[in-house]
Amino acid sequence: MQSAVPRLVLVPVAFRLALFLQAVWSTGALDAPGLWLTVVFFVVPNLLEVGWVFRRATGIRPVLAADTAYTLVTSLAAAAFAPGLLTLTWPNIMGTVMVWTLLRGAPSGAVAVLGAVLLRYGMAAVSGTSAPATWILLALVAAAATALAIVLLVAGSMRFALGLGEQRGRAAERERHRRDVHDTVLQVMESLALAAPGDALDPRGSLDQVRRTARAHALRLRLSLDGDAPAEPGGLEHRLGALAVEMTADGLRVDFVVLAKPADVPEGVVNALHDAAREALRNTLKHAKTAKAVMCLEEREGVITVSVRDHGTGFDPGARHVGFGIENSIHARMAEAGGAARIDSAPGQGTRVVLSVPLELRFPVG
């Protein structure tokens, strides 16, 4: 917001250019001597002012000082050396009043109006011309009021944008929290509830495995709530390999194949692909009625692809409601990373989940 405020100078500059053209046309000064020199001295400084604001991203004070100095110099020079073109300096004076009102508020605008009236009478004294006070004062007050209305409009727009951003931020945070609960607590509880082949052969060992799993995930959840969760080590290949080992320990054998090893994958993309692949494998474990899946990793033409394939029962994507995991833990997560997810499945033909993300992110992750 602070960097955008000086750029409000575009408004008085546009106003100056329009008013200058109107003044040239109405006064019939198209054939006046030195008109083109006046045009150059009028248009070029205004364009330089706009370029200065955008290029240097300066604060308010340099803009005010430069604009005020430019108006004073051009106005007094016209009064002293070119009284016939005195009317053409009026857009500069009104524009400076607007600049002060836009960047400093109504009190500064009132002071600028008073200063502009004094300047105009000073110009009349130097040039030996008259300056009708009524229309000068009304025109300056109108310019200040217009600038003040613009300030109020911009302030209202910023306030609306800020409120909308806060609202969307809270909604995004709620969705993230729901996703985290789904991907951690709910998934672990469901995996613990699944029957394992060793339950009948070694009940004590199965119970110990359940307890170790519960303790490990409870520790991870506690660290996450405390904000001290350590970063996952390794890159994408290492994370997916660890995921394959994790799922194998839970009863789903995962063959991990690296077709083309990617390099320099951003951490946000790594997390998104890992978590979405884990959700796909968890769905295979819970619903596919198979004990084997294949996960492939490759990079081709700047796009990283992770695919999860199983030959389980499959399902008809168009005949059933899309669950929270598919919608939020897979599709939404890929969209946040600037990628996409595709799910191919049919009854009796298994399921294939394809996750793809470009290396050059088009949207900020998260």
What would the pLDDT profile of 45-100 be if each residue is shown by its tens digit?
777 777 776 776 556 787 788 888 888 888 888 888 877 767 777 788 888 888 88
Q: Which domains does the chain have, with CATH numbers?
A: 4-162 (no CATH), 231-358 (3.30.565.10)
Q: List, for residues 95-119, the tens digit of each pLDDT value.
A: 888 888 877 888 888 888 888 888 8
What is the 3-class SS of the chain, one letter each residue? CCCCHHHHHHHHHHHHHHHHHHHHHHHCHHHCCCHHHHHHHHHHHHHHHHHHHHHHCCCHHHHHHHHHHHHHHHHHHHHHHCHHHHHHHHHHHHHHHHHHHHHHCHHHHHHHHHHHHHHHHHHHHHHCCCCCHHHHHHHHHHHHHHHHHHHHHHHHHHHHHHHHHHHHHHHHHHHHHHHHHHHHHHHHHHHHHCCCCHHHHCHHHHHHHHHHHHHHHHHHHHHHHHCCCCCCCCCHHHHHHHHHHHHHHCCCEEEEEECCCCCCCCHHHHHHHHHHHHHHHHHHHHHCCCCEEEEEEEEECCEEEEEEEECCCCCCCCCCCCCHHHHHHHHHHHHHCCCEEEEEECCCCCEEEEEEEECCCCCCCC
Confirm whether pTM is higher than 0.75: no
Residues in the chain with pLDDT < 70?
1-7, 23-24, 26-39, 53, 56-59, 85, 131-133, 177, 179-202, 206, 209-210, 213-214, 216-234, 319-325, 361-366
